[in-house]
């Protein structure tokens, strides 16, 4: 990992149907992200938040990719920030916001670099406008970064040089029919909750890290709905059967020791749906594990 860690807030909810996830960066900062990283001996800098339109009357535009022009504007600016941070030798720590921001993080992370992806999520986020049941772009973010479907024509969305065989999805348990078919036919490594049941989280994560490694490092995308909803209630699309608190830490500790973490993002923390900021606090703890915090 490079230093300093640079915190980039992206207060957007345009990729999701549940409002409030735009307050995720505040919730995560309020949970003392900065202090947690300083306690580990890191010296994070905080670049503040990107500006995201806050109009009350909102027009989603097309139904199969809602608010796509706003998502484009946010992701294009985020990609620039991530790219600048990396070229200055820092490690971007991106705070969402809904998962659509991964399109921007990945566009920035893959600029002039050979990057693998570790995507921890209940969902595949592998829909396209053709397969989406909701029109929400957060359910399409990984497909977009890989240039699938019409995203292949959108230069701002396609992450240059991202190789599907160096992308690993971990802990998936809720796939729409169209994205299940698309994932089966792709080179993306998808490790389901059933794999974790059978083999244990550390063995699965070790394989995922192997798949993603080999280049300049990995981008870690952590959707808090990866965890069991009783652990992480503050998310817009909870799915039962997620990893436990300990499994999540074990997984991210493993990432810190075995992978070269080049960039990290924490997404889908929605303080309106949360229980006294439990999910914001969990996001801080898991970021610390992913960045090398150890018990002893």
Ligand X SMILES: NC(=[NH2+])NCCC[C@H](N)C(=O)O
Q: How many residues lie near ligand X (CB under 6 A)?
A: 15
The neighbour count for residue 15, using CB atoms within 10 Å, is 31
- Told to judge if 258 belongs to the known catalytic residues of this protein, a careful annotator would answer no
Residue 125 binds ligand X, judged by CB under 6 A:
yes
Residue 237 binds ligand X, judged by CB under 6 A:
yes
- Told to judge if 276 belongs to the known catalytic residues of this protein, a careful annotator would answer no
User: Order of strands across the sheet with 167-172?
Assistant: 45-49, 5-10, 91-96, 261-267, 217-223, 115-120, 167-172, 189-192
Nearest to 22 by CA among 83, 65, 70: 70
Kindly state the smallest distance separating residue 81's Cβ from Mn ion, in Å: 21
Helix (H) / strand (E) element for 7: namely: strand 5-10
**Interactions with Mn ion, residue window 208-227 (CB under 5 A):** 223, 225
CA 41 to the chain's CA centroid: 24
The binder of ligand X chosen from 225, 231, 253, 274 (CB under 6 A):
225
Residue 134 binds ligand X, judged by CB under 6 A:
yes
Looking at the chain, list the stretches that DSSP marks H as alpha helix, in order from N- to C-terminal side: 24-30, 33-39, 68-87, 102-109, 141-145, 177-184, 193-199, 201-212, 245-258, 278-290
Distance CA 269, CA 283 (A): 8
Residue 101 binds Mn ion, judged by CB under 5 A:
no
Q: Is the peptide bond before 4 cis (omega within 30 degrees of 0)?
A: yes
- Told to judge if 121 belongs to the known catalytic residues of this protein, a careful annotator would answer yes
C-beta closer to ligand X: residue 111 or 148: 148
- Told to judge if 123 belongs to the known catalytic residues of this protein, a careful annotator would answer yes
- Told to judge if 114 belongs to the known catalytic residues of this protein, a careful annotator would answer no
- Told to judge if 223 belongs to the known catalytic residues of this protein, a careful annotator would answer yes
Query: What residues have CB less than 8 Å from 128, skipping those under 6 apart?
Result: 140, 143, 144, 148, 149, 150, 151, 178, 182
Specify the 3-state DSSP secondary structure of 31: coil
Residue 121 binds Mn ion, judged by CB under 5 A:
yes
Per CB under 6 A, the segment of 61-69, 132-140, 189-197, 278-286 that binds ligand X is: 132-140
Residue 111 binds ligand X, judged by CB under 6 A:
no
C-beta closer to ligand X: residue 237 or 289: 237
**Interactions with ligand X, residue window 176-195 (CB under 6 A):** 176
Residues 219 and 106 sit within 8 Å (Cβ to Cβ): yes
Per CB under 5 A, the segment of 125-133, 143-151, 164-172, 253-261 that binds Mn ion is: 125-133
Kindly state the smallest distance separating residue 171's Cβ from ligand X, in Å: 13
Catalytic residues: 99, 121, 123, 125, 138, 223, 225, 268
Point out which residues bind ligand X (CB under 6 A). 99, 123, 125, 127, 132-134, 136, 138-139, 176, 223, 225, 237, 268
What is the binding site for Mn ion (CB under 5 A)?
99, 121-123, 125, 223, 225
């Amino acid at each position: 990992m490079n230093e300093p860690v640079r915190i980039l807030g992206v207060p957007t909810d345009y990729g999701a149907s549940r409002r409030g996830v735009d307050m995720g960066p505040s919730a995560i900062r309020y949970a003392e992200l900065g202090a947690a990283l300083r306690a580990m001996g890191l010296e994070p800098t905080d670049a503040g938040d990107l500006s995201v339109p806050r109009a009350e009357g909102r027009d989603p535009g097309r139904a199969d990719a809602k608010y796509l022009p706003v998502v484009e504007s946010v992701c294009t600016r985020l990609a620039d920030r991530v790219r600048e941070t990396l070229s200055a030798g820092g490690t971007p720590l991106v705070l969402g916001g809904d998962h659509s921001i991964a399109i921007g993080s990945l566009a920035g992370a893959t600029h002039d670099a050979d990057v693998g992806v570790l995507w921890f999520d209940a969902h595949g986020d592998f829909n396209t406008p053709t397969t989406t049941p909701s029109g929400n772009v957060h359910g399409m973010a990984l497909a977009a970064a890989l240039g699938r479907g019409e995203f292949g024509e959108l230069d701002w969305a396609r992450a240059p040089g991202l190789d599907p065989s160096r992308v690993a999805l971990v802990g998936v348990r809720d796939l729409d029919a169209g994205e299940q078919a698309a994932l089966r036919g792709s080179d993306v490594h998808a490790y389901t909750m059933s794999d974790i049941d059978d083999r244990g989280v550390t063995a699965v994560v070790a394989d995922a890290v192997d798949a993603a490694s080999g280049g300049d490092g990995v981008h870690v995308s952590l959707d808090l709905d990866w965890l069991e909803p009783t652990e992480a209630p503050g998310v817009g699309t909870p799915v039962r059967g997620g990893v436990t608190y300990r499994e999540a830490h074990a997984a991210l500790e493993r990432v810190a020791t075995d992978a070269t973490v080049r960039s990290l993002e924490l997404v889908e923390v929605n303080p309106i749906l949360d229980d006294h900021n439990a999910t914001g606090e969990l996001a801080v703890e898991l970021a610390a594990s992913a960045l090398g915090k150890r018990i002893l």
